[in-house]
Structure 1
Amino acid sequence: MRLASKNSVVAADSRHVICRTNSASLSDFTDKRREATRPSAFRSENFERDFDSNTLFYDAVQVSKSKVALFAPPFFNLARDVATTTFISGAGTRKARTRRLDRHAQLWLDIPEHAGPIQALGELGSFAFPVSPNESEMFRDRRVIFTMSKDNPIEWILDWVRFNRDSHGADAVLIYDNGSSAYDSATLSAALRSVEGIRCSVVMEWPFKYGPQGANSWDHWDSDFCQLGAWEHARWRFLQNARSAMNSDIDELVLSKSGKSVFEAAEQSWTGLVRYRGRWIIGIDDGIRDNMHKAPHRHADFSILMPPKYQFSRLVMRRDANECLPKWTVVPARCPTHAQWHVHSIFSWWASYFCTRDFSFRHFREIGSNWKYQRTNRVPFDPSIHREDRALMDAFKRVDWDN
């Protein structure tokens, strides 16, 4: 039997903490591994390296006073072994209820608080694990921005926080750090603690493989488990009591047509959800790029909108191919329990089919490391197609970038 013993919470102070998972790795107790479902013909050169075959589950969380949930990649070939596993704790012997979601799985157990470590017995082997506490009280009644980040310069992260603080009233931050090597969690947490007006923050260490991407916009999205697992984990471990929560990347800033906060809009919506589309902000080759002394460049250095590119979709509908897929802000307590928090929508919830025109976000092409694809190639300014985003420029003026 193996007992995973990890410190789940490291407190810098009571309001700004670093959290860790109580995960289970197959290699610690069995020779079995998760097998990919993608046909070999559609696997990239680095597919095997990037695929997470070893993580059985990311974390075990006391999601309520009477329930524990295990958040996991999909089980695939391991499903039968997992289904026959018995879980034993101070509360007795339990079988898990399995939720199968898009690129994500959960095991739910009827185990009360303070029941101690859980032992798993089954065909996969025998192992034990502690349960991570529920930190939802930390974010009670907070307006939270949450994201996943890896090695983004801290200057970018703080600019993203300050913008959302001054534009929308964000007062709390949850960052899933996906294995940064440029700095440690303590450095990032200290930086967040220095931002005025941020009442609490969590740096959640999430050191799991992100997973291979799809072949294009539509095909073979079957192996990138990491972020979908993180978003459901965020929902149940941290955000159940949040006043509202915004799903946003570091390179995305949300604009309001009326000046109204996107958090306020979600809170006042009869569904508890607002979803909105995005436009790209690009860099222009002005001949001085190599002479820029800012390191790194910042969001406020860019303001040119990428021009629309209209084409017909698979459903023969005219669409702007340069438009970004939607993002969303939600009141967690009003989200149906069966729904799945996804990157661009909330699955299995009818309210997520609609987008509002009252908000949109700007996606900064040069605030990124090109980890997914090369996107920072600049083009010469063409006054016939390029225009400055005045709404963005006005929003920048309302931000205190220094505090």
Structure 2
Amino acid sequence: MSSTQITPLSFCVMPSRFAVRDAPFGIEGWDAAAKNAFDDNTLFHDVFQSADPGVVYAVGPPLKRTLRTFIKNAQLQIDGMPATMREISQSKRACLIEISADTPHAHTLTIRHPQLSVNIAISPSALPRYAGLNTMFTLSRNNTLDWVRDWARYHVDTQGVEGIVLYDNASDHYGADALCDVLSGIGGLKTFDVVPAPFQYGPAGMSRELTSARYLQFALLEITRLRFLQQAAGVLNMDIDEMAHGPAGQTVFEAAQNSDAGFLTLPGSWRYPQPGAPLLHESHILRRADMEEPMYPKWCLVPDGPHCGKSWRTHGIKGLPDQPQEGFGFFHCRMVSESWHYDRSEYTDLALEPDPLAMDVLAAALNPV
């Protein structure tokens, strides 16, 4: 293992008097849990050095009214030098600001405003550590350590993953050091970062009003792209309950790198555990006997390829149509989940049957002879 670490985000949370970020459609009708989960006072999730001297990125939730007025009326400095800013956001669910000053190094961002002044440490870029590697990233909260271990080991062994960025969203079952211990034990993994992300994820639910108010994931996509993985050879987006697969002898990275678009869409399908088996990835070898349920895809990308500079999304790349290839996809393991979003166990009335591909891909890969 060449490099392993817990890597903090350099964030800025506004005092309560500035906590006035509006939800896109308002919060009328929200229950107490949804209101508590809404992030109304984070200004930036991370402030970090770009690949260019004197240029810093600040990434956070959308500014909205009062916070937008605050930042536009503030004076900005980098290490005491006057700084200019421009908003370059590509998403309504995240704010990306480029801040520039005439200085070869960047250590502290100062925001001066008549109502508040704050100094924010500028995080270093991690781009060189992941340059040229096949990488993977995800956001996790309280997923069991066995699940994290098997997810990482499977993708290192079958897809050639060499680096992982794992965001931990305020897990209270264990600390970030436990995740480091798990990833440190994965043979073949060259580097990783466990990044604590102590923010509200956003309200749970499926309505447009609620999903539009979930900001953290979109901000982390920008942070991953610009601070960690823009110079990687390949980037795979897979959650802990998702396992990428392809034809024997081919990896998702090779498929993306050999494509004209430098991009691979991975269609997904649910897999269900054998009754009575431990709730691990390898137990998820059953499929629906009647039909596959439609599911949003995931993806693999060559980040410095034809679509360099485009924002990443959970299920694709901004402005890029799906690019599937025969035989590539991912298994979505139904009960590898804390059921934070909804009760995943509500499938017992489905007719299920063994899936030979899942048996070969999951059970065989996780239990090599």
CA-CA distance at 1:165 after TM superposition: 1.4
Are the aligned partners of 1:88 and 1:118 in contact in 2 as well (CA < 8 Å)?
yes
* Closer/same/farther in 2, CA of residues 188 and 209 from structure 1, 3 Å limit: same
SS of residue paired to 2:295: strand
- After superposition, the C-alpha distances for 1:94-113 in whole angstroms (9 at most, x for unaligned) are 22101231300011012444
SS of residue paired to 1:280: strand
Matches within 5 A, 1:366-381: 366-379=335-348
Q: Percent identity?
A: 25
CA-CA distance at 1:397 after TM superposition: 5.2
Q: Report the Cα distance in structure 2 between the residues aligned to 1:215 and 1:160, rounded to whole angstroms.
A: 26
Are the aligned partners of 2:160 and 2:251 in contact in 1 as well (CA < 8 Å)?
yes
Number of residue pairs matched? 365
Structure 1: tracts of 5 or more residues without a match: 1-12, 310-319
Structure 2: tracts of 5 or more residues without a match: none
- After superposition, the C-alpha distances for 1:287-344 in whole angstroms (9 at most, x for unaligned) are xx3xx5x4xx2111121113565xxxxxxxxxx6x22100001111126455211111
Q: Report the Cα distance in structure 1 between the residues aligned to 2:342 and 2:226, rounded to whole angstroms.
A: 32
Q: Report the Cα distance in structure 1 between the residues aligned to 2:290 and 2:86, rounded to whole angstroms.
A: 47
Cross-structure match for 2:33: 46
TM-score (norm 2): 0.91
Cross-structure match for 1:85: 74
- After superposition, the C-alpha distances for 1:215-250 in whole angstroms (9 at most, x for unaligned) are 43x565311001111111011111022110100000
CA-CA distance at 1:252 after TM superposition: 0.5
Q: Report the Cα distance in structure 1 between the residues aligned to 2:356 and 2:56, rounded to whole angstroms.
A: 49
TM-score (norm 1): 0.84
Cross-structure match for 1:3: none
SS of residue paired to 2:269: strand
Matches within 5 A, 1:4-403: 15-27=3-15, 31-66=18-53, 67-77=55-65, 78-90=67-79, 92-100=81-89, 101-111=91-101, 112-122=103-113, 125-216=116-207, 220-283=210-273, 286=275, 289=276, 294=278, 297-307=279-289, 322-334=293-305, 336-348=307-319, 350=320, 352-379=321-348, 382=351, 386-396=352-362, 398-399=364-365, 401=367
Q: Report the Cα distance in structure 1 between the residues aligned to 2:36 and 2:294, rounded to whole angstroms.
A: 32
CA-CA distance at 1:381 after TM superposition: 7.2
* Closer/same/farther in 2, CA of residues 252 and 358 from structure 1, 3 Å limit: same
Q: Report the Cα distance in structure 1 between the residues aligned to 2:348 and 2:366, rounded to whole angstroms.
A: 30
SS of residue paired to 2:139: strand
- Computed over aligned residues only, the root mean square deviation of the Cα atoms, in angstroms, reads 2.3
Corresponding letter in the other structure for 1:235:
R
SS of residue paired to 1:228: helix
SS of residue paired to 1:204: strand
Corresponding letter in the other structure for 1:344:
H
